[in-house]
Amino acid sequence: MSPANLAGDNAKFPGKECEKLIAMVFYVAKAFEPSIIYIDEAEKVWPAKKKKKKGQKKKSKDEMLKDPARMKKALVKWRTKWVVDDTRITVIGCTNEPQEGGKKDFKKFFDKSIYFPFPDYTTRRLMWKTFIN
């Protein structure tokens, strides 16, 4: 699942369809255990809380329906309902901008966090040589 599919102007599942999709993903994962649910761009689903500035307008209803953060409530609801100790479902979230996401929300939803730093110059050079060959 990715916020690009569930939110924005080109959303394939706008409005309430988002929650239906999330429910269906967890239902299928339960039916075909062991399963992995992959959430790309997790920083958009769990954004860091920003202070409101004076004079800043509230989001309109259309903007709220396009906001990827609305997935958070449905994901938490269905994860607690379907992913328990005896199930073999793994939920993985990936982000390339962890500073944009709310660390508190990440820790609440995911059991473990693994941070991979970008490779240094020598490692990149070795990777390029390997991949080109």
Beta strands in the chain (DSSP E): 35-40, 89-94
Name the pLDDT band for 60 (thresholds 50, 70, 90).
low
Q: pTM of the entire structure?
A: 0.71
Q: How many CB atoms are located within 10 Å of the residue 94 CB?
A: 12
Omega within 30 of 0 (cis) for the link into 34? yes
The three-class DSSP label of residue 44 is: helix
| Residue 100 half-sphere exposure toward CB, CA atoms < 13 A | 10
Query: What is the pLDDT at residue 52?
Result: 63
pLDDT tens digits for 31-44?
A: 998 999 998 888 88
> In this model, does residue 66 exceed pLDDT 60?
no
Cβ–Cβ contacts within 10 Å for residue 38, how many?
12
> How confident is the model over 71-114, as pLDDT tens digits?
788 888 888 887 878 889 899 988 888 888 888 888 888 888 88
- The structural domain count of the chain equals 1
- Structural domain including 27 reads 3-132
